[in-house]
Amino acid sequence: MQIRELAIPGAWEVTPRLLGDDRGMFCESFKASEFEKATGRPFELHQVNTSVSAAGVLRGIHYTEDPPGQAKYVTCVRGAFLDVVVDLRPGSPTYGRWDSVLLDDVHRRSVFLSEGLGHAILSLEDGSTVTYLCSLEYSPEFDRDMDAFDPRLGIEWPTEGRDGSRLTYIRSAKDELAPPFS
């Protein structure tokens, strides 16, 4: 398992070692001892969510008010997503910056994001499925949203799916009405 910190401190890309044979493939998607050694922190699991999306579905930017904050460990189990992490921690040297990782069913990477970071995923093909391990149960009173297309953030969203077809962005009404970063 390889774990590297992204350009946003507190966010990591996790690349598992894939073991394949004539039966298929196996990998360790999460291993507490390796995670803690690389990140310097434990991950306490309180909720698991799974989301299935059509090509072009953009979920986010979502975050949980900090405190209490919510850390997430995100894995694509089918299809492909662009996973985007945004630093929303006032006073952070990377406040307002973003980084991204391609999560797919080929490389089986995951992304861990610490409390205080915003998160969005864009599905790059129909039926893409993502699972989130969460450090806090869903708490609507702390749930917040931000406009994923805010020009101040300047996120470079892909316009083509994994198969090269043109993406049409599909967002929830809540995400379309989300306030800007400012």
Known catalytic residue: 119?
A: no
For residue 46, indicate whether it is catalytic: no
Query: Residue 64 and residue 68: Cα distance in Å, rounded?
Result: 8
Cα angle at 181 between 52 and 76, to 5 degrees? 20
Catalytic residue among 95, 119, 132, 138: 132
Structure tokens at 129: 């499925």
Catalytic residue among 62, 63, 73, 119: 62
Under 8 Å between Cβ of 53 and 22: no
Within the chain, where are the H helices? 32-39, 173-176
Task: Give the Cα separation of 13 and 114 in Å (integer).
Answer: 12
Q: Hey, what are 116's tokens?
A: 């205080």
Which of 42, 39, 74, 48 minimizes the C-alpha distance to 60? 74
Active site residues: 62, 132
